[in-house]
Structure 1
């Protein structure tokens, strides 16, 4: 993991999270912590461990982390502006995902889909694990008739980080009803698209877990290891919120999962370094 140059300006934990909550790649620090379970931390996306992390905020009531700043410098700028505490004063973080998403939305209000696409693309480049910006990008590609890029984008909207944001029902409808283009007809998510419901909790059995397992295996088979790991984390995150009896029926043990997952992520990072 590439650490920020000025990491010593915050009091960071010694261990980066393995998952599932907080998610893999999250490293908590103490500054601006509210003391109620809400706090800030570094976050490295799957596949971007060689880049400096963004800053996310843990929202414990919602069980998510929320992207807040593009880097540690921006967090420290905000922190100082708010008298070294959590505060309402905002800073300019122009090239970060949320700002770019907002700019894309403004272009839509002006009925300019091509310009909106530019901002949405920049948004996904800034941070690629958020479902919303991929969905917005997919919708506009669909609008202008670019079917290949639409389908690529809607796939990424589903294979996003559910510890940050769960895919919308609109995104699910889009993936389930599309007519696959030749280039993507064998993609694991496309193959399984009609079977997914992604409706978790309150059931004795849920085939979504079996389908997600098939998607993970398929992504691994085609060499898309980062997305396979992301979906494996999503699987475990949803299972984490299930009852203990449900977990037992599906042979899920969180500690065992964490050990296996940590080994998988280490192996991937070692291969990338090699």
Structure 2
């Protein structure tokens, strides 16, 4: 990915733990590396196909001076979020916030915090088979599409399916969403659980009936070993009601572990279940 760089942007503002820092203020230097595909702009010389480094600088200055923070970590996080939300063409940003006048009572050139943040593509499995199924599916779509720090929400078609695993229950409505988020998997899963709670989801029987079920199926090409969040979802390749809507959104998508297209996995599963 191409890069647009800003080096040592100087901003005078008020951040720090000590009272004097918040009263007197001090100089900060900011380095920004924005990952952007600049090929179209390079071929056409059209500004709207790239990102103005002047606009990036003005965004950073405005964000740094609008409030006082104690930690450079907080400043850097706000700057990364601001840039990614304001400039849709930027896929990833690296921010370094330098503090040349750090009050450490020793000589240092500067102290700094450097972070890297980016958009992440997430696929979400959605299901409901209890109560007003259509209303719960409508609630899920409204809430997930409106989550903060997200963009490019898409929904596959809703299908009705037989229950999986625990079969003594009603039919499900199922679909898959895709969305881009700035959240980590844990942060995003927490937001999904909050939506399930709004739908009064009860976890009483494994694979049992539920008003609303929201599962992270995929998060970029991430493969986790986390006990709380297993990505890719371990049942993804075994479920027609997941693969069918997933293939609608990502017809040429490739499973990060099996290295096979979801469409091929779907066709094999259909053959097995004939």
TM-score after normalising by structure 2: 0.28
TM-score after normalising by structure 1: 0.28
Larger radius of gyration: 2
Whichever structure has more strand as a proportion of its residues is 2
Q: Which has the higher contact order (CA 8 A, sep 6+)?
A: 2
